[in-house]
Amino acid sequence: MNRTVFAVSVAAAFAAGCGITHLLRPALAAETITAQIIHTGDLNGDQLGPANAGGMHSKTYVSADGATISIQDGNVGKHMHPNTNEIQYILDGTGTIWLGDKEVKVKPGDLVVIPKGTPHGGTKPDGRTLKAIAIKTPPQAPDDTKMLN
């Protein structure tokens, strides 16, 4: 019962955030929603684009008025987004990540809620790198990533 209440609360908070974002701040991304099926299990590594300096591959599949949705695969250093909330759904891989001021274990099926300004990343996989769906609201500006030590 508590997990259901938590999941509904997260979904409601996300929807409310998208609504408020739409009213208070113009979108940083053009609306490009199309009906589609994304076979996340088929997407790995270079299929998601070239790796960044830290080894993370990422491709945005939905860019809308209040949010973006991308698939991320690989390791990323510890960082934060001062102006963007992020929700990650772990698809594949297990390991630890920083979330706030502690390291936490993650596995497929976990939902990671990262409020803006929260340190996260520093991925340490146990075998296969982590692959996740990343939902960012409002859409992340190009300069909204601050790398941390």
pLDDT in tens, 12-38: 555 555 554 444 444 444 556 889 899
91-106 average pLDDT score? 96
Lowest-confidence pick of 22-26, 81-85, 97-101, 145-149: 22-26
Reference 105, options 94, 117, 116; nearest CA is 94
Report which DSSP code applies to 84: -
**Per-residue confidence band for 105, with pLDDT thresholds at 50, 70 and 90:** very high
131 and 77 Cβ atoms separated by less than 8 Å:
no
Amino acid letter, 2 = N
Q: Name the nearest CA neighbour of 120 among 132, 128, 109.
A: 132
Condensed to tens digits (0 to 9), the pLDDT of residues 114-147 reads 999 999 999 999 999 999 999 999 999 999 999 9
35-48 as b/e: b if 16+ CB within 10 A: eeeeebeebbeeeb
Q: Regarding predicted confidence, which is higher, 27 or 2?
A: 2
Res 34: pLDDT: 84
Q: Where are the domains of the chain?
A: 2-147
Q: Which CATH architecture has domain 2-147?
A: Sandwich (2.60)
Asked whether the predicted pLDDT for residue 57 surpasses 80, the reply is: yes
pTM, rounded to two decimals: 0.77
pLDDT at residue 44, rounded to an integer? 87
